[in-house]
Amino acid sequence: MFIRFITTGGTIDKIYFDATSQYEVGESHVKHILSEGLVNFDYDLVPMFQKDSLEITDENRQALKEFIENDDASLYVITHGTDTMVETAAKLSSISGKTVILTGSLSPARFKTTDAIFNIGMAVAAVQSVEPGVYLVMNGQVFAEGEVCKNSSANRFEKIGESGSGT
Amino acid sequence: MFIRFITTGGTIDKIYFDATSQYEVGESHVKHILSEGLVNFDYDLVPMFQKDSLEITDENRQALKEFIENDDASLYVITHGTDTMVETAAKLSSISGKTVILTGSLSPARFKTTDAIFNIGMAVAAVQSVEPGVYLVMNGQVFAEGEVCKNSSANRFEKIGESGSGT
Amino acid sequence: MFIRFITTGGTIDKIYFDATSQYEVGESHVKHILSEGLVNFDYDLVPMFQKDSLEITDENRQALKEFIENDDASLYVITHGTDTMVETAAKLSSISGKTVILTGSLSPARFKTTDAIFNIGMAVAAVQSVEPGVYLVMNGQVFAEGEVCKNSSANRFEKIGESGSGT
Amino acid sequence: MFIRFITTGGTIDKIYFDATSQYEVGESHVKHILSEGLVNFDYDLVPMFQKDSLEITDENRQALKEFIENDDASLYVITHGTDTMVETAAKLSSISGKTVILTGSLSPARFKTTDAIFNIGMAVAAVQSVEPGVYLVMNGQVFAEGEVCKNSSANRFEKIGESGSGT
């Protein structure tokens, strides 16, 4: 089994520089998480961009889609900011014959308390278990692309229509 | 979605009592891990027994099997010691119409560095993604029951026949 | 032995709210750190204010000084933001007959990797070991008030004149 | 300022080998803790032995004492198992003109929840603040050699005579 991990930034990789009192997106924590998870499969890690997901452009999404289409792997885990993860999933939905899991975290991987490790674990299990297609993995659930939204007020991902409060 | 978690002891729940300098199996860390994972589904947690898996008897396994067969849930995650996880999976393999994931960890959940969080994340994704049946989730992989063994010298789980060193 | 802890905000207590993508100062982590440190002495914790230290005013400092002068304890540990810790120490330097240790951290206590636990441990040892007076404890060192500055470019505290680059 | 750290084993450096289900004393975590503490002083680390403190012999203590007496540093922090820390302190008490702090932890430094970081922080502050002599730093307190015992039933260090239950 081979999994290609692609990092695009987002909360999961945010770090904090004291001098500026600004959060910025840092080097990915994914490799460290896989090492702690004692994973025993082949993988590599492609840092595509390092952005807050509100700043990801259509050009970025197009480039991401073309990268995957032209690449020779069949299993992908993409770490991504939560605010536009749904939009990126929609953009990637026309990719055929490959399994693509998007995930991220609601608190940074560098925090003592974080959902990042759990979510990367979920993504790794999902990518080898589901049918080819595009999926989101967050909040303990594996969502097919198109059936999920971020409920911003509750700060979590939900099936569309489930709580009535998604946007 | 509803998941029933069953804890049976093992390294994942080991704790250390200074007075005796002995590791003993403590209260399960699973609830804490699910809380950090910000999971948004219904679940409960059944503490079945708290044993080093070398001490799990045939009677214990039979009781576990009957509990699941007579229970009304369809998705199960069982935490279990690694030394006899394969044996317990074999015993449960005749359960039909339910999805059962066994997992655990090679270092205790209470350690700073542990595979427990990653593995529970994997199990949660697997239980909702695979066809009904019995599976083991360890070392970044989702194994079907019957195709996996613990390679004790390398201290990891592998597909049977893959490394030639499994026992 | 009785120690009065006073919290005033700063990086040590910063938390991160995803909705606004802003760091804000949260409830103090000091009690949690003392609990992990298995301390066996009497103490209490006074939350004085919760501010980035650049926003601490002369009135705030005067109030802090008067609180300590009129209070009946003799040992104090104050957690404080790093940017104006030196200024607050100077303001408190005229307090007599009491031991006052200022500390904080360069990365938040809620991070996996943080100097907060180490620094609180240092402050607790210093407050019971030094002569009455005002001290800063940061970067592994116990500085007397008046001999220390923050070297902002190196992001650490140093003895005045030591590196030539302090400001 | 220069501090010589000497490691002798004990709970603080215990690690867990799954194969044997035995705790054994591993490579010291002290360097890692100092790095997280962002310390800015010169130091080195001498691994003297790696033992459960119940196994430290009189010959070991004599060797430790002679090492310090013949060494050119003046500030020492020794990490040590808790069960015989008091005995080792007594043995070292005749060293003159040097400051020696013994510390350790009641739960291993590799645990998520541990007093190790706090205690090393305390030791670093104490060694530069107290008069030359031999001290124990545990449970939030700086004890002079000769006035402290381990209360085994409460699993903590106390001033002799304080609780009536020491020894």
B8 within 8 A of B51, measured Cβ to Cβ: yes
Tell which wins on pLDDT, A161 or A47.
Answer: A47
Which pLDDT band holds residue B18 (cuts at 50, 70, 90)? very low
Q: Do B38 and A140 make contact, defined as CB atoms within 8 angstroms?
A: yes
CA dihedral C100, C102, C103, C106 (to 10 degrees): -170
pLDDT digits (tens, 9 = 90+) for B86-108: 999 999 999 999 999 999 999 88
Q: In the prediction, which pLDDT does D23 show?
A: 52
Average pLDDT, chain A: 91
Chain B contacts of A123, Cβ < 8 Å? 125
Q: Do B152 and D107 make contact, defined as CB atoms within 8 angstroms?
A: no
Q: Is A153 exposed, middle or buried (0-12, 13-18, 19+ CB in 10 A)?
A: exposed
Mutation site, A21, A27, A52, interface C, largest C CB count within 10 A: A21
As a whole number, mean pLDDT of residues C122-139 equals 98
Q: Do A23 and C16 make contact, defined as CB atoms within 8 angstroms?
A: yes
Q: In the prediction, which pLDDT does B14 show?
A: 82
Name which of D11, D82, D112 is nearest B110 (Cβ-Cβ).
D112
Taking any CB pair shorter than 8 Å as contact, residues of chain A touching chain C are 11, 16, 18-19, 21, 23, 52, 82, 106-108, 110-113, 152, 155
pLDDT digits (tens, 9 = 90+) for D79-122: 999 999 999 999 999 999 999 999 999 988 988 899 999 999 99
Give the rounded percent of residues in chain A with a pLDDT score beyond 90.
75
pLDDT digits (tens, 9 = 90+) for B43-76: 999 999 888 889 999 999 999 999 999 999 999 9
pLDDT digits (tens, 9 = 90+) for A32-91: 999 999 999 999 999 998 888 899 999 999 999 999 999 999 999 999 999 999 999 999
What does the DSSP assignment read for chain D?
-EEEEEEEESGGGEEEETTTTEEEE-S-SHHHHHHHTT--SEEEEEEEEEE-GGG--HHHHHHHHHHHHHSS-SEEEEE--STTHHHHHHHHTT--S-EEEEE--SS-TTBSS-SHHHHHHHHHHHHTTSPSEEEEEETTEEEETTSEEEETTTTEEEETTSSS---
Q: In the prediction, which pLDDT does C13 show?
A: 86
Residue C26 above 90 pLDDT? no
pLDDT in tens for each of the 167 residues of chain D? Answer: 999 999 999 888 887 544 344 556 667 789 999 999 999 999 999 999 888 889 999 999 999 999 999 999 999 999 999 999 999 999 999 999 999 999 999 988 988 899 999 999 999 999 999 999 999 999 999 999 999 999 988 999 999 987 644 33
Taking any CB pair shorter than 8 Å as contact, residues of chain B touching chain D are 11, 14, 16, 18-19, 21, 23, 52, 82, 106-108, 110-113, 152, 155
Average pLDDT, chain C: 91
Name which of A36, A39, A106 is nearest B38 (Cβ-Cβ).
A106
Name which of A18, A111, A155 is nearest C110 (Cβ-Cβ).
A111
Nearest chain B residue to D11, by CA: B18
Q: Do B129 and A124 make contact, defined as CB atoms within 8 angstroms?
A: no
Chain B contacts of A38, Cβ < 8 Å? 106, 115, 118, 139-140, 156
Q: In the prediction, which pLDDT does C18 show?
A: 45
Q: Which token pair is C115?
A: 């100097």
Q: Do A18 and C82 make contact, defined as CB atoms within 8 angstroms?
A: yes
Give the rounded percent of residues in chain B with a pLDDT score beyond 70.
90
Q: In the prediction, which pLDDT does D5 show?
A: 98
Q: In the prediction, which pLDDT does B69 show?
A: 98
Name which of C37, C114, C140 is nearest D118 (Cβ-Cβ).
C37
Chain D contacts of B19, Cβ < 8 Å? 152, 155
Report pTM. 0.89
Q: In the prediction, which pLDDT does C24 show?
A: 60
Q: 3-state DSSP call for residue B94?
A: coil
Chain D contacts of C38, Cβ < 8 Å? 106, 115, 118, 139-140, 156
Residue A92 above 70 pLDDT? yes
